[in-house]
């Protein structure tokens, strides 16, 4: 951290030179030197940390040698979790859809309660490296192991697409290059350092990334609350008055000149739609709020890269406490994100501000609030950092599924550790290429793209873990039935989503799109998958004795 502080100090010394070139008369546009320097410093720092703590063997690559402390692991959980969807996407959803966006805040935090209470300690006790490992062993099937690995890869890809979108937006803003070039450059950098470091480097990086993410996110909020006369000592509470001001309307202040960076008054007409529940102009309903929160919560407990974090702590007790720390660290950001949406609503209220890219509203809000350009640059770098930390974890989870679960456990059990590592790296490269190609299509908001991965995990992996841990009667046939059911619901929802985006009208399109929208199809998919698993397990033979014995002696004793 000393190194980081020194580099930031040097960057701040350069500020008078840099700020002139980035005077914010327009929100988008040219190359921004100060923010670019900060971004480059941070990226170089990540690669250096990756090299210093690089993986030496497969145990290091997959599970960081199981030598990470509880608080450290909590920070890594938080960093791994706080993606571009949290950093950029959440404020975007609240800015665009008001109270509806809070379903994402609740969904992405409430899921950790389920994860801890139902799974964390037991997963660690089970002692496997990956989600597919657990599925293959618990359901004594190589086929299910392979399917689990393939699902893990799909989930990682879906999750990564949103992150690459966030990286693209931030690189575009900082460097003044187009979105496509920004996605390709950002993707190449994150791929490089994941390949160099593996999970050990990634875990160390994640701890540093957490600190950068949280500092960069909170500093502009202190400035904004102080500048516009709100309670600035705790901006996470101080912004409450901003929300009330947005609802009641804010007249032009005639005694004190409060303006945004474009010279417009800090004023807004009454806009209750920003905070009132499922407000008609947002086009969102009560059902959608509940379905999104529920899907995100069970998806949290089924995401391979989240589950995999519990393998890197020494004991089950550490796995449990690391969730508490992780959730607390996550909440610091989640308590803050709505503040950007509220300030953004007032600062961008004047029609001349125009239509802003919602996913970049965090950065635009700081910029419109006349926050110093270098601090805005640091904020953008924090956004990139958030996306990087998650992408690296996802790439490791995806490549683990490819090399460990598919190649070694199914295709070539005799593979040497060297060959295994080679395949892990090959898998990482392949995934990065696929993700880049999809991210270039710019399908939806970051938060929504990430929510697809959650619903997919909620429909497929969550039921297998839940029943696999808590009911020894769940057997291979039940697991297959559950997977087919969850997979079918996922397939229908995603097919209708892609068809809709491609302009193709399928039968009952509006009905399916509403009840099984891509962001929340797990609300029905997961319960159906659990039900199918239970019914088929009851109708078929018992689970083998050695599995039941293992569950009792290792997982629940």
Residue list 438-497, contact with other proteins (CB under 8 A): 470-473
- Go through the chain and tell me how many residues it has: 557
Footprint of other proteins on 228-257 (CB under 8 A): 231, 236-238, 240-241, 243-244, 247, 249-254
Footprint of other proteins on 111-140 (CB under 8 A): 112-114, 116-118, 121
Report how far residue 197's alpha carbon sits from residue 54's, in angstroms, rounded to the nearest whole number: 4
Q: Please identify, using beta-carbon distances, which residue of 109 and 448 lies nearer to other proteins.
A: 109
526: contact with other proteins by CB under 8 A: no
Tell me the HSE value of 36 on the side-chain side, using a 13 A CA sphere. Answer: 15
Stretch that binds other proteins, among 3-11, 145-153, 159-167, 547-555 (CB under 8 A): 547-555
Among 8, 106, 150, 429, binds other proteins (CB under 8 A): 106
Q: Residue 170 to residues 180, 190, 535: CA-CA distances in angstroms?
A: 12, 14, 48
Minimum CB separation from other proteins for residue 414, in Å?
33
Stretch that binds other proteins, among 110-118, 129-137, 407-415, 492-500 (CB under 8 A): 110-118
Report how far residue 23's alpha carbon sits from residue 21's, in angstroms, rounded to the nearest whole number: 6
548: contact with other proteins by CB under 8 A: yes
Footprint of other proteins on 351-390 (CB under 8 A): 351-352
Minimum CB separation from other proteins for residue 536, in Å?
17
Among 54, 227, 320, 419, binds other proteins (CB under 8 A): 320
Minimum CB separation from other proteins for residue 18, in Å?
20
Residue 185: burial class (beta carbons within 10 Å; 0-12, 13-18, 19+): middle
Helix or strand (DSSP H, E) at 436:
helix 417-439
Among 88, 93, 323, 391, binds other proteins (CB under 8 A): 323
| Tokens 């979108």, located at residue | 165
The string of DSSP letters for 242-257 reads HHHHHHH-B---SSS-
Among 1, 13, 256, 280, binds other proteins (CB under 8 A): 280
Report how far residue 214's alpha carbon sits from residue 333's, in angstroms, rounded to the nearest whole number: 6
> Residue 268: beta bridge partners?
250
Q: Please identify, using beta-carbon distances, which residue of 354 and 507 lies nearer to other proteins.
A: 354
Q: By three-state DSSP, how is residue 440 classified?
A: coil
Among 13, 414, 503, 553, binds other proteins (CB under 8 A): 553
Q: Please identify, using beta-carbon distances, which residue of 57 and 273 lies nearer to other proteins.
A: 273
Minimum CB separation from other proteins for residue 336, in Å?
10
276: contact with other proteins by CB under 8 A: yes
417: contact with other proteins by CB under 8 A: no
Q: Please identify, using beta-carbon distances, which residue of 251 and 417 lies nearer to other proteins.
A: 251
Report how far residue 375's alpha carbon sits from residue 395's, in angstroms, rounded to the nearest whole number: 30
Q: Residue 508 to residues 286, 287, 450, 500, 512: CA-CA distances in angstroms?
A: 22, 19, 25, 12, 6
Q: Is the Cα dihedral 528, 533, 534, 536 positive or negative?
A: positive
Stretch that binds other proteins, among 189-197, 314-322, 395-403, 523-531 (CB under 8 A): 314-322
331: contact with other proteins by CB under 8 A: yes
Note whether 91 and 344 are within 8 A (CB).
Answer: yes
- Region class of 64: left (phi > 0), else alpha (psi between -120 and 50), else beta: left
Minimum CB separation from other proteins for residue 557, in Å?
6
The pair of structure tokens assigned to 188 is 């190449």
Note whether 494 and 518 are within 8 A (CB).
Answer: yes
Minimum CB separation from other proteins for residue 366, in Å?
17
Footprint of other proteins on 177-236 (CB under 8 A): 231, 236
Stretch that binds other proteins, among 41-49, 104-112, 150-158, 214-222 (CB under 8 A): 104-112
Q: Please identify, using beta-carbon distances, which residue of 358 and 404 lies nearer to other proteins.
A: 358
Minimum CB separation from other proteins for residue 371, in Å?
17
Q: Residue 260 to residues 27, 264, 340, 503: CA-CA distances in angstroms?
A: 12, 5, 14, 39
Among 184, 258, 265, 415, binds other proteins (CB under 8 A): 265
SS3 of 317-360: HHHHHHHHHHHHHHHHHHHHHHHHHHHHHHHCCCHHHCCCCHHH
Site map 281..300 versus other proteins, x via CB under 8 A? x----x--xx--xx------
Q: Please identify, using beta-carbon distances, which residue of 53 and 289 lies nearer to other proteins.
A: 289
Among 177, 267, 415, 440, binds other proteins (CB under 8 A): 267
Give the rounded distance of the alpha carbon of 55 from its chain centre. 24
């Amino acid at each position: 951290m000393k190194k980081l502080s020194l580099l930031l100090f040097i960057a701040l010394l350069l500020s008078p030179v840099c700020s002139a070139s980035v005077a914010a008369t327009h929100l988008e546009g040219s190359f921004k030197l100060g923010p670019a320097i900060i971004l480059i410093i941070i990226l170089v720092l990540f690669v250096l940390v990756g090299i210093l703590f690089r993986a030496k063997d497969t145990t290091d690559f997959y599970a960081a040698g199981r030598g990470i402390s509880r608080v450290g692991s909590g920070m890594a959980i938080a960093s791994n979790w706080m993606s571009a969807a949290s950093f950029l996407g959440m404020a975007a959803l609240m800015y665009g859809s008001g109270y509806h966006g809070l379903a994402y805040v609740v969904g992405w935090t409430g899921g950790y309660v389920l994860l801890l209470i139902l799974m964390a300690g037991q997963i660690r006790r089970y002692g496997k490296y990956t989600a597919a490992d657990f599925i293959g062993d618990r359901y004594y099937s190589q086929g299910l192991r392979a399917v689990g690995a393939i699902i893990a890869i799909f989930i990682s890809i879906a999750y990564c697409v949103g992150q690459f979108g966030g990286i693209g937006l931030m690189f575009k803003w900082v460097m003044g290059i187009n979105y496509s070039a920004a996605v390709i450059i950002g993707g190449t950098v994150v791929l490089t350092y994941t390949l160099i470091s593996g999970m050990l480097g990634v875990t160390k990086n994640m701890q540093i990334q957490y600190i950068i993410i949280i500092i960069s996110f909170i500093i502009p909020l202190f400035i904004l609350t102080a500048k516009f006369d709100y309670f600035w000592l705790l901006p996470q509470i101080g912004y409450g008055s901003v929300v009330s001001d947005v609802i009641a309307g804010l007249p032009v202040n005639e005694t004190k000149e409060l303006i945004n960076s474009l010279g417009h008054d800090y004023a807004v007409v009454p806009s209750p739609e920003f905070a009132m529940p499922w407000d008609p102009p947002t086009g969102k309903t009560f059902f959608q709020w509940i379905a999104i929160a529920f899907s995100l919560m069970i998806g949290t407990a089924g995401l391979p890269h989240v589950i995999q974090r519990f393998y890197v702590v020494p004991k089950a007790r550490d796995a449990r406490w690391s969730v508490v720390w992780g959730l607390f660290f996550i909440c610091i950001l989640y308590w803050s994100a709505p503040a950007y949406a509220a300030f953004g609503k007032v600062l961008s209220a004047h029609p001349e501000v125009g239509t802003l890219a919602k996913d970049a509203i965090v950065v635009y809000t700081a910029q419109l609030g006349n926050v110093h350009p270098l601090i805005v640059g640091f904020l953008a770098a924090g956004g990139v950092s958030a996306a990087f930390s998650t992408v690296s974890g996802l790439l490791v989870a995806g490549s683990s599924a490819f090399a460990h679960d598919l190649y070694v456990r199914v295709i070539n059990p005799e593979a040497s550790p060297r060959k295994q590592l080679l395949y892990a790296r090959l898998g990482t490269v392949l995934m990065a290429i696929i993700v880049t190609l999809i991210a270039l299509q710019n399908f939806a908001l970051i938060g929504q793209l990430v929510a697809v991965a959650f619903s997919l995990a909620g429909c497929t992996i969550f039921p297998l873990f839940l029943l696999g841990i808590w009911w020894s009667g769940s057997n291979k046939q039940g697991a297959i039935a559950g997977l087919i059911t969850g997979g079918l619901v996922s397939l229908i929802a995603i097919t209708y989503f892609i068809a809709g985006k491609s302009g193709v009208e399928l039968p009952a399109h509006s009905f399916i799109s509403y009840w099984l929208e891509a962001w929340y199809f797990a609300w029905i998919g997961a319960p159906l998958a659990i039900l199918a698993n239970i019914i088929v397990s009851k109708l078929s033979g018992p689970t083998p004795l050695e599995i039941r014995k293992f569950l009792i002696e290792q997982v629940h004793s």
